[in-house]
Amino acid sequence: MIQTGGEILFRSLNENGINMVTGVPGGPLVPFINAIRTHHEQSHNFRNIVSTHETLATLTASTFGRFNRWPGVAYVSRKGGADNATLGITQAQMHGDPLIVIVGQKPPNLRGPFDIQATDIQADFAHRVKRVIKLTEAGEIPEMINLAIRESINGRPGVVLVEAPAHVLATDISGPIPIPTVSARNVLEPETAQVRAFLNALRQSRKPLVIVGHIALFESAQEEIKRFVNAIGAMVLLPFRQENLYPWHDVAFGGSFQPRLSIEPAMDEMIQTCDSLFILGDAFNDVTTGKYTLFRDLKTIVHCYPQASLAKTIYPQKIDLTTNLRPLLEQVNQEIAHAPQLVDETWRAKRKEWHAERLQFMEGPHWPTTETLDMPAIWRYLATFPQATYIRGAGNYDNAHIRYLRTENSFGTFSGDMGYALGAVLGLSLTEPYQKGEKIAVALAGDGEAGMFLLPALLTARQYNLPAKFFVFNDGQYTEIAKEIGHSFGMELSGADLLGIGQAKVPYIERVSRMSQVKPAIQSAYQTQHAPYVIEFNLVADRKR
């Protein structure tokens, strides 16, 4: 039996449980694409989602990987493709999403000294990802892909780039080629000393504050966290735009945390009065510490994360537990079940008070009687659909969601990179619950990012009948920046006819300009299965009034 390197690459992915890839094809990857085609003709259990932009491909694959808890795979070609994929690669690494990006390269003997199509993957990307792997021989592909999968999912999940030169993928190999497989993620079981250190810190705590991070979702540790939080009487803060990590209605939930956007009513008081901090599954960095200014006077700081952290010189009291979160909390919860935690009664009373304040803060106005589009009312209505998951980009509308989108089925980009939601919603809509219609994937985007990526996202969604919903809030400018500087000069957008653009690409699209249109449009979008749906909320007219 003779196989090409491309066929071996396909088998190495497929036999390791990867049944979907997405990307933009290019010359160096032809043997790999041919292998996918051959398999597709024999069986339809593998999907190749051809994208129209490398950024969308990497955002799609990384979100698919996050919710499947297994690497998503994207493919790009040459320097141009790798450069275009940078935004998605950076987002995935920042979010801790398991992602493998295969970069097709020209053979070394065809590269000139000023070859603009070749790229030095190691030099360009090593500082942005977990690892760069270069394929040098077709026979080593199975071992290298095995390594890429393990590196992507173990410890803190992240991005692995696989450099695949054209001559390696085109090489013929005869004889059987065994494919080593990875069956599961390695679990870092906590050592006895780590559990003891955690419990000792807990015994000194009377007013505990907990920050929950993205590892909680990847390890399915939310229930263990909730048990722990309520057993010790803690308050919980979540990273900005990551509200899907803890139920908002729980008495312990204090809100979304980002120091420069601390709009929650009691958050400052929580931070100032707590006597201990437990960071569970989030990085210990400038965001969680307010640029290393918060929590410095606390005697007790415990950081649980599958990757060593920095800032030990600034926070010498910090206890680092480099282990997986779920098995650690399982042991801790067993211990504290037999020895109830002592909690300061004032703090316990404050929890209820803060919770009541937050509910009142989030209440917002009732459904308006006028026809002017009311953003808080729209957010609150969106939150009444428990089957919907909302992915937010970095539009000007986003700050409003923190207060009024009362659902834990919501998340967004850490960094504020525009366009994130439009690629991520494609990946989410490819996962099983959304393909079956049990859940609904919805992108919330501003007109700025819609201008960048809505058209290519719609092309992909329409081609593959992905049930992704796109809700675009079009106000014709970068509103939040205009508010900051006090004028709109230089902030205006074209006010593009998104309805006209979308109608050419998808059958289901409508423009909403009045409040009486809001509920019917959203209901229609959610009732439409196995097809993309676009709603443009036209805020331009309201802004000009």
Burial zone of 393 (CB within 10 Å; 0-12 exposed, 13-18 middle, 19+ buried): buried
* Torsion angle, alpha carbons of 440, 446, 447, 452, to 10: -80
Closest CA to 445 of 466, 470, 427: 470
pLDDT number for residue 545: 46
pLDDT in tens, 101-126: 999 998 766 665 556 677 788 888 99
Provide the total of helices (H) and of strands (E) in the chain, helices listed first.
23, 20
β-partners of residue 276 are 208, 300
Q: What are phi and psi of 119, to 5 degrees?
A: -140, 145
Average per-residue pLDDT for the chain: 87
pLDDT of 340 above 60: yes
Is 90 exceeded by the pLDDT of residue 286?
A: no
Closest C-alpha to 396, from 486, 473, 494: 473
pLDDT at 498 over 70: no
pLDDT(259) > 60: no
Helix (H) or strand (E) holding 49: strand 47-50
Question: What are the tokens at 410?
Answer: 């919501």
234 vs 226: CA distance, rounded Å: 10
- Check pLDDT > 70 for residue 344: yes
Selection from 114-123, 168-177, 246-255, 445-454 with the highest mean pLDDT: 168-177
Q: Domain 192-353 is classified in which CATH homologous superfamily?
A: TPP-binding domain (3.40.50.1220)
Report CA-CA distances (Å) from 125 to 28, 121, 371.
19, 6, 50
Return the pLDDT at 242: 82
198-202, 488-492, 503-507, range with greatest mean pLDDT: 198-202
Which residues pair with residue 410 across a beta bridge?
Answer: 390
Give yes or no for a contact between 181 and 146, defined as CB atoms under 8 angstroms apart. yes
Q: Which of 6-15, 29-38, 180-189 has the lowest mean pLDDT?
A: 180-189
User: Domain 2-174: which CATH class?
Assistant: alpha beta
Rg (the chain; Cα; Å): 24
Q: So what's the pLDDT on residue 488? A: 64
| Whole-number pLDDT of residue 475 | 80
The dihedral of CA 442, 447, 448, 454: what is its sign?
positive
Residue 31 has pLDDT above 50, yes or no: yes
Global confidence as pTM: 0.92
SS (H, E, C) 303-360: EECCCCCCCCCCCCCEEEECCCHHHHHHHHHHHHHHCCCCCCHHHHHHHHHHHHHHHH
| 463 contacts: CB under 8 Å, gap ≥ 6 | 50
Separation of alpha carbons 22 and 14, rounded Å: 14
Query: How many other CB atoms are there within 10 angstroms of residue 339's CB atom?
Result: 10
CB 160 within 8 A of CB 152: yes
Q: Where are the domains of the chain?
A: 2-174, 192-353, 364-544
Contact assessment for residue 284 and residue 310, using Cβ atoms and an 8 Å cutoff: yes
- Say yes or no to pLDDT of 196 above 90: yes
The tokens for 375 are: 């953003």
pLDDT at 128: 92
Contact 375, 397 (CB under 8 A): yes
Helix (H, G, I), strand (E, B) or coil at 99: strand
| pLDDT for 143 beyond 90 | yes
The tokens 């004032």 sit on which residue? 346
Instruction: Pull the structure tokens for residue 328.
Output: 């650690």
Range in 191-200, 237-246, 299-308, 397-406 the model is least confident about: 397-406
What are 524's two structure tokens? 């229609």
- Between vectors from CA 390 to CA 513 and to CA 233, what angle results, nearest 5°? 130
Confidence of residue 367 (pLDDT cuts 50, 70, 90): confident
Domain 364-544 is in which class?
alpha beta
Task: Give the model's pLDDT for residue 489.
Answer: 65
User: What is the average per-residue pLDDT within 466-477?
Assistant: 88
Q: Is 66 exposed, middle or buried (CB count within 10 Å of its CB: 0-12, 13-18, 19+)?
A: buried
pLDDT of residue 408: 84
DSSP element (H, E) containing 408 = none
| Statement: residue 255 has pLDDT above 70 | yes
- Is 159 in contact with 93 (CB distance < 8 Å)? yes
How many other C-beta atoms can be found within 10 angstroms of the C-beta atom of residue 533? 26
pLDDT at 263 over 60: no
Sheet with 99-105, side-by-side order of all strands: 47-50, 20-23, 72-77, 99-105, 159-165, 131-134
Q: For residue 40, what pLDDT is reported? A: 81
Please give the Cα distance from 126 to 393 (Å, whole number).
26
